[in-house]
Amino acid sequence: MNVIITATDLAHELTGERPPVLLDVRWQLSTAKAAGAPAFDGRAAYAAGHIPGAVFVDLDRELAGAPGASGRHPLPDLGEFGAAMRRAGVRADRPVVVYDGGQGWAAARAWWLLRWTGHPDVRVLDGGLPSWAGELSTEATDPAEGDFRPAPSATGRLDADEAAALARTGVLLDARAGERYRGEVEPIDRVGGHIPGALSAPTTENVGPDGRFLPAAELRDRFKALGVAEDAETGVYCGSGVSGAHEVLALAVAGIPAALYVGSWSEWSSDPNRPVAVGADPQ
């Protein structure tokens, strides 16, 4: 099953007999609030213009739990997540398409969470809203109540101990910028560096200048060069389980299954008893 969709194909499907449920998950990782500036407001961006029929989903409130010991974007309460998806019109028997402002991280988080909790047909709009050439709407969408009820998979998710073990026995990819992996800078979390054994693989290198994913063959070559083999168990982490979901999506485009460490560096680094590696050497 395809995990991404072009804007052209989405426009065609929206006029068909079985249009997908469309979710707008605009969000930005921002340190502006710490500097006293207002944070990005995805709901305001949605109100200013969205793809007709889309329903806004709030990443911080509906796709994540409250920040704490489990990280900045831990898993949401699944009962609350299911209720939010039903309010958005998500049904088990109807495809879902998710988009964001173009970076793809927030849309990937929604994609991963829906897929991990059992929805069979979820895709991300490749290139996000900037790829959409049609008209935008400022009218809020009021969908009929959906029926989706989350049923988490036994696979596809890592906790801290499992991530540490996978870094030794398989392939654990760090989706953050290289300078954060190396510990040269750390703008958000307690300490810089990476999980010992993890490999630096910035998710920004999975897309072209237009924000769209590289062709599947190019992605396969990239991940192969990082040591991701067909028989290698693969996991991904990032700062808080958002950009890491984008790398899991890139791996899926390449046909490679991977698990997400949701707590990611924000959880790992909060515990001073966990080891931290710095520099370009994985160890």
Catalytic-role residue among 55, 158, 201, 238: 238
Determine the Cα–Cα distance for residues 248 and 245; give it in Å rounded to an integer: 5
Determine the Cα–Cα distance for residues 71 and 66; give it in Å rounded to an integer: 9
**Of 180, 179, 227, 177, nearest in space to 203 by CA:** 177
Determine the Cα–Cα distance for residues 186 and 67; give it in Å rounded to an integer: 18
141 is written with which tokens?
A: 């969408």
Q: Measuring CA to CA, how many Å separate 151 from each of 82, 118, 119?
A: 10, 5, 9
Q: Is 238 a catalytic residue?
A: yes
258 and 250 Cβ atoms separated by less than 8 Å: no
Strand 199-200, strand 171-174: pairing: parallel
- Residues classed as catalytic: 238
